[in-house]
Amino acid sequence: MPTDSASPKRTSYKSPRRDKFEIWSALLEACLRTPRTQSWLVRKIGLNTAAAKEALSVLTQGGLLEQLSEPTAGIFEFRTTEKGKAALTQYYQLITYFFDSK
């Protein structure tokens, strides 16, 4: 198939889509020191609402995140649990072990 020499070559350095483990670790990290609302997480982590709800549900059911109180006007706050902190530590150790650039 001939290519048009007038059109520039497309090169993309866009990172690949995040997998569920990267999303989960980002959520755990974001809620580590300060409780965060679902809407804050959606904006800062860059998820759509449905994906955020699904990931937050998985992490909450697994005991890695805790919902702090019943929602007021639909506002949920989440905080990383001790189990979540341990999981995050193990995740980063695993990544560092296999993908260390040294």
Q: Is residue 12 part of a domain?
A: no
Whole domain around residue 62: which residue ranges? 20-99
Q: Is residue 70 part of a domain?
A: yes
Q: Is residue 91 part of a domain?
A: yes
Distance CA 81, CA 70 (A): 17
pLDDT tens digit sequence for 15-25: 568 889 999 99
Q: How many domains does the chain have?
A: 1
Q: Is residue 15 part of a domain?
A: no
- pTM for this structure? 0.76
User: Which amino acid, 100?
Assistant: D
Residue with tokens 């296999």: 98
Element (H, E) at 91: helix 82-99
Residue with tokens 């866009």: 14
Residue 24, domain CATH = 1.10.10.10
C-beta of residue 67 within 8 angstroms of C-beta of residue 20: no
- pLDDT tens digits in sequence order for the chain, 102 residues long: 454 455 455 444 445 688 899 999 999 999 999 999 999 999 999 999 999 999 999 999 999 999 987 766 778 899 999 999 999 999 999 988 888 765
Q: Is residue 10 part of a domain?
A: no
